[in-house]
Amino acid sequence: MDKVIDKEQADANLASLSTARMADLLLKVAHSFGGSKRAAKGVPKDWLPFPDYRPDSRQAEQADEPTKFILSELIHRFEIPVYVFVALNGRVDDSG
């Protein structure tokens, strides 16, 4: 469940990034037109729906326990080939 929430927060922030940059820019322009000598405080991050969101930096070395259980059930029922089981159960490879 945490992965779903993490993904939703990441997607919401990504979709709102250009809007947050625009809102920050408009705030600074409006602040400068107001005659203030100091610049407006704030960063685009303040305008994001989840400003305190930080992505999970851990890389999965292997499949988690629920995934291993489901894969073992599929292999016992002969619903997936062994090479698919090995590929899905092994280490994540980003080499392409």
Ordered by start, the domain boundaries in the chain are: 1-58, 59-96
3-state secondary structure of 51: coil
User: Using CA atoms, how far apart are residues 91 and 72, in angstroms rounded to an integer?
Assistant: 16
- pLDDT tens, 12-70? 998 999 999 999 999 988 888 888 878 788 888 999 999 888 876 555 566 677 877 88
Dihedral, CA atoms, 71, 73, 77, 82, nearest 10 degrees?
Answer: 30
- Confidence bin at 90 (pLDDT 50/70/90): low
Sign of torsion, CA 22 24 26 29? negative
User: Using CA atoms, how far apart are residues 9 and 24, in angstroms rounded to an integer?
Assistant: 20
This prediction's pTM: 0.52
